[in-house]
Structure 1
Amino acid sequence: MVSSAAGAPYIGVDTIAEAGGEGVYHWGAQIPLFFGYKKSIFSCGRQPLGENIPLFINHYVSNSVLWASVKNKFFVQIVSPSVPAIDCEINAKRVEDSKKGFLLDWVCARLKFKEVELVKGASVERSFDCYIGPKLYSAISRLGMHKEDVMEFGRLKWVCSLLLLFMNKIHSVVPNYGVVIIVLSLIVKGVFWPITHRSAVSMKKMQEIQPEVNEIRNKYKDKPQKMNQEIMELYRRHKINPMSGCLPLFALFTVLRSAVELRYASFLWIRDLSEPEGLLAGISPIPINILPIVMTLLTILQQYLTPASGDPQQKKMMMYMTFIMLFMFYNMASALVLYWTVSQFLSMAALFLQRYKTKIMQLAPLKSS
């Protein structure tokens, strides 16, 4: 099985062992390490290659293998032999032009079977079940043997599968995927409202206990690990979960980053929802993406309208995070940025409504008097 990458993201190989309870193993993140290439988490853009990075690599999976897959962003090849293979060989080649940084050219998986000695006139027959096609969860999940795990939904599998189901059900009524994502944003806001509300409550509690947090920071400023432990313990005592509102974003990110349904789906000025907008590509030295900029402006406005904590450091951190999010989202799939932009707009609308209700409640006693 071969999958051509030509520098495309999300290329990889998956295998599942016959025994051991390890489940499906995703080798995609390991392949660069097999070349001896390690990218710094602080690097931006392409990182220069070292002098001893090989052009080809071979890696052997020594366990017996029930099935193996090779995939890219949107398509997958899955081969399941009738008799488990004794091992699997992963081959990969990187792009030769080192100026482009580390990019995969292709990957390949080879299943190896136990040798059979044949007498004269005898024959051996092997059969395989194969799936070669798009990464459609609805189709692959029916194949059995955990083959749907090639989608790499991880621990969010149940949420991601539900979101995909909702997205496709809505699309059966609404033919445009851009409108589908807007409707999905409304549904997610409604379904996850209790979580979002808890997140807002957590933020308010975090503001209330900020003096205690500052005290811990001053006390353990020379022991960062101890400081983080004490702060998390403080959050636990007050039942605060800073990450509670991130579940919908993580799930949507996992679904929309490689949903084949969105491939070549257009919406307004966006030609392909599975890719960045890329306006003026080929004309402007930097492709123009409008949605991430709108998303950032909405985030800044929301921060301005939200009651701020008295901690200047936290204010700066929130502003820094806003611009970090801009860089993170700028080259992501338009579908994901569209969802997050609409979600931010809905949060703004809810904030305005809450302020309006608060104002009405404050004026009510004055009118009665």
Structure 2
Amino acid sequence: FKADSYLIHCNIIVQNGSDIPVNDAISISVPGHFDEEVNQRSRFAFEGPVAYLDNKFTTIKPKDIEDKDTYSGVVGWVGYTTRYFLTAVMPDTPETSTLKLSFANDVVTNRLVSQMPRLDPDKQNQLSFTLYMGPKSHKILSQYDNLLKKSVNFGFFDILATPLLIAMNFIHDILPNYGVAIILLTIFIKLIFWPLGTKSYKSMNEMKKVQPLMMQIREKYKNDKQRMNQEIMGLYKTYKVNPASGCLPLLVQMPIFFALYRMLYMAIELRHAPFVGWIQDLSGPDRLFHFNFSIPFMDAPYGIPVLTLLMGASFLLQQKMTPTAGDPMQAKMMMLMPIFMTVLFINFPAGLVLYMFVNNIISMGQQYYTQKILA
């Protein structure tokens, strides 16, 4: 091994000291601690035994080991992953092997079992493999092995999250502050969705124009819900207004949002990465000051979630700029939205809150600009 590397190259030499041929296998174990606390964390980012088996990244939930504890196939590597770190064993030559798993006393053991060639008396065989123990960094793992970097996996949203991670790291290489990188990445994403956003704000402006007519219809047919809905749909058709178009940009951006959440939660690059002032860890929730008492809806550490409150205020301001809904029930729900979003984000990573805050500020600017042009 080398001081500047996370790799350890190993050779196992087996010698037959008997007087008969031997057909046996070599087993290499990768254990990992897995208790109830780890199980709870695993809901957000998988922790447990993993493998690159038959050209596919495979996760094995400890609770499933009782039903199936053996897997066979061409093994690229086998290991144990946590939120930020990976321990993996890589055979020098990928070959068909067996994985044997066990789970007892809060310890999961992932064993790579490789069949040895026939070993005659006084002969010896050698098994070579590489051990990786280090961070799940896309940059670092890419330097070592293309198969090993598959361990940086964001689940269902991996196809979106991985390019976002690469883009964020690219920006960070130029401007070495991950908070700034997130802001610039947000601007880039917003530019991609700019035409769709403009179309949405134009539609909302048209909705604003028909609001007085909608109120008249609701008052006139308040005792006849069916007729009211027919008249409102006729109004939409006459003025060519689509009430759902205002929600379209948000729906389209939802996969990006979830991909960013997974990326910002799991990317070791953001672990203890500072931004400004009180935000010294973009992977954790923002807290100004620390309190010894608990706060409703807030996980420890307890403090003032300044950035989250600013994000909630931006939702409130954005709502003030948006035409009120014609449906009273919908209007009440929209009034509660800023509070709901603030509570929802209160324990989210500061990097994700920063993304939403910047996204809202840009959206308000775009909305103001669009309304000014249409005025």
Distance 1:205 1:113 in 2: 68
User: Does 2:119 correspond to 1:84?
Assistant: no
> In the TM superposition, what whole-angstrom CA distance separates every residue of 1:240-261 from its partner, at most 9, and x where no partner exists?
6872122331232122111111
Q: Secondary structure at the match of 2:69?
A: strand
Shift of 1:348: 1.7
Distance 1:179 1:198 in 2: 29
The 1:180/1:18 distance shift into structure 2, 3 A limit, reads closer
**AA partner of residue 88 (structure 2):** I
Residue 178 in structure 1 maps to residue 207 in structure 2: no
1:306 Cα deviation after fit: 0.8
Q: Secondary structure at 1:149's aligned position in 2?
A: helix
Residue 271 of structure 1: which of 266, 273, 280 is its match? 280
Which amino acid is 2:90 matched to? S
Structure 2: gaps spanning 5 or more residues: 1-29, 218-224, 230-241, 296-301
Deviation at 1:177, TM superposition (A): 1.9
Find the aligned partners of 1:265 and 1:348 in 2 and give their Cα distance.
28
| CA shift in 2, pair 1:274/1:325, >3 Å | same
Structure 1: tracts of 5 or more residues without a match? 36-56, 95-104, 219-233, 360-369
Q: How many equivalent residue pairs?
A: 302
24, 30, 38: which is aligned to 2:57? 24
Q: Which amino acid aligns with 2:306?
A: I
Partner in structure 2 of residue 262 of structure 1: 270
**Alpha-carbon distance in structure 2 between the residues aligned to 1:18 and 1:126:** 20
Aligned to 1:100: none
Q: CA deviation at 1:206?
A: 10
Report matched runs for 1:272-311 at 5 Å: 272-281=281-290, 283-286=292-295, 287-288=302-303, 289-311=305-327
- Out of 142-151 and 285-294, give the one that drifted further: 142-151
Is the contact made by 1:273 and 1:335 (CA closer than 8 Å) also made in structure 2? yes
Bigger fraction of residues in strand: 2
Q: Which residue of 2 aligns with 1:331?
A: 347
3-state SS in 2 of match to 1:269? coil
Secondary structure of 1:73 counterpart: coil
Q: Output the CA distance in 2 between the equivalents of 1:321 and 1:202.
A: 21
SS in 1 for 2:344: helix
Which secondary structure does the structure 2 equivalent of 1:148 belong to?
helix
Counterpart mapping for 1:47-62 below 5 A: 60-62=69-71
Q: How does 1:195-234 map to 2 (within 5 A)?
A: 195-197=196-198
**Residues 320 and 89 of structure 1, relative CA distance in 2, 3 Å threshold:** farther
> Aligned pair 1:71/2:81, yes or no?
yes
| Aligned-partner SS, 1:128 | strand
Query: Which is greater in Rg?
Result: 2
Deviation at 1:162, TM superposition (A): 2.9
- Describe the shift of the 1:135–1:235 C-alpha distance in structure 2 as closer, same or farther (beyond 3 A): farther
Structure 1 residue 154, shift from structure 2 partner: 4.2
C-alpha distance 62-271 of structure 1, shift in aligned 2 (>3 A): same
Shift of 1:118: 3.3
Match of 1:244 among 248, 252, 262: 252
Q: 1:241 to 1:111 in 2, by over 3 A?
A: same
Give the stretch that moved more between structures: 332-341 or 322-331. Answer: 322-331
Question: Which string of whole-angstrom CA distances, capped at 9 and with x for unpartnered residues, describes residues 247-278 of structure 1?
Answer: 33123212211111111112211121111124
Secondary structure of the residue that 1:274 maps to in structure 2?
coil
- 2: distance between equivalents of 1:321 and 1:290? 18
Q: What secondary structure is seen at the aligned counterpart in 2 of 1:336?
A: helix
2:374 aligns with 358
Q: Greater relative contact order (Cα 8 A, min sep 6): structure 1 or 2?
A: 2
* Deviation by residue 1:151-209 (Cα, 9 ceiling, x = unmatched): 2234544533332232222222322222222222222212332454466578789999x
For the 8 Å contact 2:196–2:249, the answer to whether it is kept is: no
What CA distance in whole angstroms lies between the structure 2 residues aligned with 1:349 and 1:283? 39
- 1:264 partner SS: coil
Deviates more, 1:322-331 or 1:69-78: 322-331
| 2:170 aligned residue | 169
Find the aligned partners of 2:179 and 2:160 in 1 and give their Cα distance: 21
TM-score by length of 2: 0.67
Equivalent-residue separation in structure 1 for 2:265 and 2:67 (angstroms): 28
Q: Could you say what secondary structure the match of 1:126 adopts?
A: strand
Compared CA separation, residues 199 and 34, structure 1 to 2 (3 A): farther
- Alignment match, 2:31: 2
Assess, with a 3 A threshold, how the Cα gap between structure 1 residues 278 and 146 changes in structure 2: closer, same or farther: same
Distance (Å, rounded) in 1 between the aligned partners of 2:250 and 2:355: 21
